[in-house]
């Protein structure tokens, strides 16, 4: 398992791209949107949960 390093970044108005359209992508998109990020999801298909985020 790779070591993780916590980072504190102001995400407001920053562009964030998520690759994948599953449950994990939906959860990550929801968190990023909560902090004001501009989220783009790239996926050949989206789960219903992902398309409802935001």
How many domains in the chain?
Answer: 1
What is the DSSP-derived secondary structure letter of residue 42? E
Tell me, yes or no, whether 2 lies in a domain: no
Per-residue pLDDT 10s for the chain (54 aa) are 688 888 899 999 999 999 988 888 889 999 999 999 999 999 887 666 666 666
Tell me, yes or no, whether 44 lies in a domain: yes
Query: Which contacts qualify for 25-31: CB closer than 8 Å, 24 or more apart?
Result: 25/50, 26/50, 26/52, 26/53, 29/53, 29/54, 30/54
- In this structure, are residues 22 and 50 in contact, taking their beta carbons and an 8 Å threshold? yes
Tell me, yes or no, whether 30 lies in a domain: yes
Distance (Å) of CA 52 to CA 8, 12, 39: 27, 21, 13
Tell me, yes or no, whether 20 lies in a domain: yes
Query: What is the C-alpha to C-alpha distance for residues 2 and 52, in angstroms, rounded to an integer?
Result: 31
pTM reported for the whole predicted model: 0.74
Tell me, yes or no, whether 25 lies in a domain: yes
Tell me, yes or no, whether 10 lies in a domain: no
Domain that includes residue 23, residue range: 15-52
């Amino acid at each position: 398992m790779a070591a993780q390093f916590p980072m504190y970044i102001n995400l407001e108005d920053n562009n964030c791209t998520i690759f994948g359209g599953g449950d994990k992508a939906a959860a990550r998109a929801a968190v990023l949107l909560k902090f004001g990020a501009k989220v783009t999801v790239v996926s050949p298909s989206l789960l219903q949960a992902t398309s409802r985020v935001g």
